[in-house]
Structure 1
Amino acid sequence: MNIKGKTILITGGASGIGLESAKQFLGEGANVIITGRNQTKLDAAKRILPLVTIIQSDVENPEDSKVLFEKVVALGGIDILYNNAGVGSPALNLGIANEQILRNAIYEMNVNYFGVIRLNTLFIDMLKSRKESAIINTTSILSLVPALEEPTYAATKTALSFYTRILRKNLEILNSGVKVFELLPPVVATEMTAKRNDKKITPEQLVKALISGVKKDQFTIRVGDTKLLYIVSRFFPKLAFNLVNPKKIYASLKY
């Protein structure tokens, strides 16, 4: 897929992977629109990347999503929708069973899964009307193997992975030109993972792999350890589970 001259909308674009994506897509000659909930972070991103267009919007909020769509229409539309926004709750403590666990789970599902479907539904006709267009959905290494500490996050990304594959196939059946990419990152060094001691890659490395995959029409883009875990999980599922969930984390899940 050709990126130069395309207009891309990146959700969660004010920091981390989203901000790095904005930087690299601009470097490829794309026009970039970023969204996020936090206006202060968006303003800071604008100072770093003056060429980006910023729009405050929360993917969890249906009304925000409709307003975002209207603003994008007024700007001339987009060619690529990059569903990058995502949230993760604190590690699940097995000694606590309260309403906060449920609230966290609902929030994660609303942002990571339903928020993506909401935007795809709003923008799909626009994307279908373009000569060459795409949807990029960010899933996770945890869509391959679940994590004891992040059950709902893993579940949301697994759901999104299945949805992404079916969306791609449905569009193929309809002879649509909309390309559907799935990005499966390993653990990435961002705000969300700051307290984790796992092996991490940088947002720069991840986005570089993403852009390379998009250019090659590589619809499933596995990066770093995700490549190895994909193979291990297929042939040695118990080993894969133990790699993601080493014994040392068990103690943190107790009282």
Structure 2
Amino acid sequence: MNIKGKTILITGGGSGIGLEAAKQFLELGAKVIVTGRNQQKLDLAKNAYPTLVCIKSDAGSGEDALALFKKVSELGGIDILYNNAGVGVAPKNLGISSDDHFKGAEYEMQVNYLGVIRLNNLFMEMLRSRNESAIIMTTSILSIVPSLIEATYSASKTALAFYTRSLRAHLNIIGAKVKVFELLPPLVDTEMVADRDDKKMSTGQLVAGLIKGLQQDQYTIRVGDSKIIFMFNRILPNLAFSLINPKKLNSLLKS
């Protein structure tokens, strides 16, 4: 996959992984459009990287998705759709009845899974019209092994992982040239996990791994500990589960 000269849309690009990806893609000669719900973060991103195109848009909103598609079309369209936006709610104990737990799960599924399908459907014909185009899905190390403290988040990412593989196969069957990449990050140093003291990969390292995978047409891109967990889960699944779910994390379910 050639990055130079491509126009890339990054959802959730106002900070964290998305903003780092915007930075590295710009350095490779791409045109980058980022979206996000927080206008202040988008303004800061624009100040840091003046060539960015910033559009306020909620990845979980159907109305926002339609407005985003219209704006992007007016700008000339895109070659790469990077579905980076994702949300996670506070840990919940599945054994305790709670309306908040259902609402949190619904929110995660809406943004992490259904919102991605919505955008893919909106942009698919545009992407299919390009000589070289791609969709990038951000799943997770937790789509390999679930986290007990992030059960519904893990489920949303697992759903996205299965959809990603199916979409890739469907496009291949109908002869579409759209490449479908899956990025499986480990725990990354972002605001979402700022309160955790576990080992974290930097956003810079993660995006560098993503770009390397894109350039090599590596459709499943496992970075850092995601590689290790994938291998362990195949040969020593109990060990993989214990690495993802150490006792110090499980104690959060009792608090």
- Corresponding residue for 1:141? 141
Gaps of 5+ in 1: none
1:115-194 to 2 correspondences below 5 Å = 115-194=115-194
1:1-255 to 2 correspondences below 5 Å = 1-93=1-93, 96-255=96-255
Q: Distance in 2 between matches of 1:164 and 1:20?
A: 23
Displaced runs of 4+ in structure 1, greater than 4 A? none
Residues 58-82 of structure 1: CA distance to partner in whole angstroms, max 9, x if unpaired? Answer: 1111010000000000000000000
Q: Distance in 1 between matches of 2:88 and 2:222?
A: 20
State the AA in 2 paired with 1:202.
S
Q: Distance in 2 between matches of 1:54 and 1:213?
A: 26
Q: Is residue 95–residue 253 contact of structure 1 (8 Å, CA) maintained in 2?
A: no
Q: Distance in 2 between matches of 1:239 and 1:185?
A: 19
TM (normalized to structure 1)? 0.98
Q: Distance in 2 between matches of 1:216 and 1:96?
A: 46
Q: How many residues align?
A: 255
State the AA in 1 paired with 2:22.
A
Q: Is residue 94–residue 254 contact of structure 1 (8 Å, CA) maintained in 2?
A: no
Q: Residue 97 of structure 1: CA displacement?
A: 2.4
Residues 21-60 of structure 1: CA distance to partner in whole angstroms, max 9, x if unpaired? Answer: 0000000100000000111111111001101000110111
State the AA in 2 paired with 1:206.
L
TM (normalized to structure 2)? 0.98
Q: Distance in 1 between matches of 2:56 and 2:94?
A: 36
**SS of match in other structure, 1:150:** helix
Q: Distance in 1 between matches of 2:25 and 2:248?
A: 39
Residues 82-101 of structure 1: CA distance to partner in whole angstroms, max 9, x if unpaired? Answer: 00000000011457422111
Question: In percent, how many aligned pairs have the same letter?
Answer: 63
**SS of match in other structure, 1:176:** coil
Q: Residue 221 of structure 1: CA displacement?
A: 0.3
CA RMSD of aligned residues (A): 0.9
Q: Distance in 1 between matches of 2:250 and 2:75?
A: 50
State the AA in 2 paired with 1:171.
L
Q: Residue 235 of structure 1: CA displacement?
A: 1.3
Q: Residue 123 of structure 1: CA displacement?
A: 0.2
